[in-house]
């Protein structure tokens, strides 16, 4: 019988080991590329076991290191963390396979460095998922930022460097200037860095200060990409597509909204928020972000840029769900982490596949190419349906819960926002398969897509459908979380 602490290690260590071993395998490309998927499978196994344990009502915890009095690095798995951990580790398997296909197909330079930091980023994301206190959360939040910089600036040209600088300055700047003092503020007023299921702030902070503290958290978590601090996400799209897929659709941005939800539920507490109304302004801000970025997405011709703005808008769904401060909405927000991850990673995979296979990155160039890559565009279509929220795709569940939550908390205008946004989603996502299948071809292009790219696309695509039918354990987890 393996103890629960060991399962935490089984989950978080494989990416770290991959990261440490990879630099020494630069001469043995096959072994190096095999390590990623292998690590992903081991991690996912651990994450699955942990999720089962959490479902049984346990809270696995592990203290790693005592830095000083009151400061420690330790892990304690919350239901929310279990879900995020599972999502990140399972999708890492597919993304690792995909990135092998992509990097080889595209003949990128510095592949060893790429895999090293890729694994590092996954490790950081998993540590964020399981972090037991605010400081651990912050530490790995920063590790994630720094480990993704070499990935964003991977191409090493001027554009990549500029994007890298913007990426770093927004993410590091916001987290250091706002998130850190906010965490320390909580530390000062509650006397510890611990979080608890129902929040720790009730009774420790006067109601008039709560919105300011929340604002510091919200603007500190740049990774959640709310509107004044969202620019880094489109900029980061210069990175190779596997990075955009796993990190900027799953690990990094989800780490952002995960942190946001954790702060809203485990630091402030849903009851505290609904009692004080501290998050009302956040509802407005998130709704605004949601609509505006959907509109911006329509005007983007670059596939990845459009997907990036779509991601920002979907992230706002999650933040909005947390800010509504009702049980149902929070559940919806958590489920949306899973469903959106599965859907968006498929879309990014497809964007990368088109780039590798046909060297196209503009939507206007896609006319009529659906017949030359039918599987790919079919996958894109299914992924889009999931994002839009059409049954029987996974995305429909989370939208359903979010809308229920909005109704429950009494903010009816949010329902309107959701419906408008859904229409916009449908418009800007469906344009791509529609052009590919129904318009006439401009010019012939020879298409060659590596198998290692097609397999993960199909897998994640199926995942979006399977998730629709297997949502129950996740829903149970979220109900543990809110009750």
Q: Which residues bind other proteins (CB under 8 A)?
A: 65-69, 71, 135, 138-139, 142-143, 146, 153, 156, 158, 161, 165, 168-169, 172-173, 176-177, 180-181, 184-185, 187-188
d(C-alpha 315, C-alpha 312), whole Å: 5
* Element containing residue 305 per DSSP (H, E): helix 303-323
Closer of 161 and 367 to other proteins (Cβ): 161
Shortest reach from residue 140's CB to other proteins, in Å: 8
Return phi, psi of residue 155, to 5°.
-75, -15
> Least CB distance from residue 67 to other proteins, whole Å?
5
Smallest distance, other proteins to C-beta of residue 420, A? 37
Least distance to other proteins from the beta carbon of 117, Å?
Answer: 13
Minimum distance of other proteins from residue 285's CB (angstroms): 21
Distance CA 319, CA 334 (A): 10
Structural element, H or E, at residue 62: strand 61-68
Closer Cβ to other proteins, 156 or 198, answer by number = 156
Count Cβ neighbours within 10 Å for each residue of 189-214 and write b for 16 or more, e otherwise: ebeebbbeeebbbeeebeeeebbebb
Torsion of CA 298, 299, 303, 306, to 10 degrees: -60
Closest CB to other proteins among residues 104, 165:
165
Q: How far is the CB of 312 from other proteins (least distance, A)?
A: 23
Task: Please tell me the distance from the alpha carbon of residue 61 to that of residue 76, in angstroms, as a whole number.
Answer: 4
CB of 219 to other proteins, least distance (A): 12
If you write DSSP's letter for every residue of 153-187 in order, what string do you get?
TTT-SHHHHHHHHHHHHHHHHHIIIIIHHHHHHHH
Q: Of 69 and 444, which has the nearer Cβ to other proteins? A: 69
Decide: 268 and 214 in contact? Cβ < 8 Å: yes
Spatial CA neighbour of 110 closest among 219, 239, 218? 239
Nearer to other proteins (CB atom), residue 177 or residue 415: 177
What is d(CA 202, CA 95) in angstroms, rounded to the nearest whole number? 41
Measured from the CB atom, the residue of 108 and 302 that comes closer to other proteins is 108
The per-type count for the chain, helices as H runs and strands as E runs, is: 20, 2
Nearer CB in complex with other proteins: 183/283: 183
CA distance 79 to 50: 10
State which residue, 175 or 319, has the beta carbon closest to other proteins. 175
**Which of 221/308 has CB closer to other proteins?**
221
Q: What is the smallest separation between the CB atom of 167 and other proteins, expressed in angstroms?
A: 11
Question: Phi/psi of residue 150, each to 5°?
Answer: -60, -25
What minimum distance in Å lies between the beta carbon of 189 and other proteins? Answer: 9
Q: Which of 20, 21, 42, 16 is nearest to 31 (CA)?
A: 21
Report the 10 Å Cβ neighbour count for 138.
22
Supply the minimum distance, in Å, between the C-beta of residue 69 and other proteins.
7
Radius of gyration, alpha carbons of the chain: 21
Query: What is d(CA 470, CA 86) in angstroms, rounded to the nearest whole number?
Result: 14
């Amino acid at each position: 019988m393996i103890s629960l602490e060991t399962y935490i290690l089984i989950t978080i260590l494989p990416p770290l080991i991959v990261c440490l071993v990879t630099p020494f395998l630069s001469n043995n490309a096959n072994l190096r590329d095999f390590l990623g998927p292998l690590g992903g499978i081991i991690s996912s196994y651990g994450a699955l076991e942990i999720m089962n344990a959490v479902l049984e009502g346990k809270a696995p915890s592990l203290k790693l290191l005592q830095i000083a009095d009151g400061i420690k690095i330790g892990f304690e798995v919350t239901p929310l963390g279990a879900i995020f951990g599972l999502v990140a580790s399972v999708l890492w398997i597919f993304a690792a396979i995909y990135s092998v296909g992509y990097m080889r197909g595209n003949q990128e330079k510095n592949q060893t460095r790429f895999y090293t930091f890729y694994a590092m980023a996954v490790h950081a994301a998993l540590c964020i998922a399981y972090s037991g206190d605010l400081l651990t959360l912050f530490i790995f939040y920063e590790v994630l930022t720094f480990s993704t910089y070499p990935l964003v600036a991977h191409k090493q040209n001027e554009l990549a460097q500029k994007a890298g600088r913007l990426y770093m300055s927004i993410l590091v700047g916001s987290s250091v200037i706002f998130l850190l003092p906010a965490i320390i503020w909580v530390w000062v007023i509650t006397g510890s860095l611990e979080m608890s299921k129902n929040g720790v702030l009730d009774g420790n902070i006067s109601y008039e200060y709560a919105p300011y503290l929340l604002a510091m958290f919200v603007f500190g978590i740049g990774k959640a990409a709310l509107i004044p601090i969202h620019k880094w996400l489109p900029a980061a799209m210069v990175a190779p597509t596997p990075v955009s897929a796993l990190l900027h659709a799953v690990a990094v941005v989800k780490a952002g909204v995960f942190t946001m939800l954790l702060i809203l539920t485990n630091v402030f507490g849903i009851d505290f928020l609904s009692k004080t109304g501290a998050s009302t302004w956040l509802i407005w801000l998130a709704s605004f972000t949601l609509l505006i970025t959907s509109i911006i997405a329509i005007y983007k011709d670059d596939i990845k840029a459009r997907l990036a703005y779509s991601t920002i808008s979907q992230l706002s769904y999650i933040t909005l769900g947390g800010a509504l401060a009702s049980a149902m909405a929070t559940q919806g927000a958590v489920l949306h982490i899973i469903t959106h991850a599965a859907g968006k990673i498929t879309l990014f995979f497809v964007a990368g596949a088109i780039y590798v296979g046909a060297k196209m990155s503009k939507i206007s160039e896609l006319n009529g190419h659906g017949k030359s890559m039918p599987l790919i565009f079919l996958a894109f279509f299914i992924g889009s349906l999931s994002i839009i929220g059409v049954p029987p795709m996974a995305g429909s569940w989370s939208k359903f819960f979010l809308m229920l939550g909005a109704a429950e908390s009494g903010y009816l205008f949010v329902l309107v926002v959701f419906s408008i946004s859904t229409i916009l989603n449908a418009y800007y996502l469906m344009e791509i398969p529609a052009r590919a299948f129904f318009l006439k071809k401009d010019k012939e292009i020879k298409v060659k897509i590596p198998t290692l790219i097609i397999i993960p696309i199909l897998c994640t695509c199926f995942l979006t459908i399977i998730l629709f039918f297997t949502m129950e354990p996740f829903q149970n987890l979220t109900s543990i979380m809110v009750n």
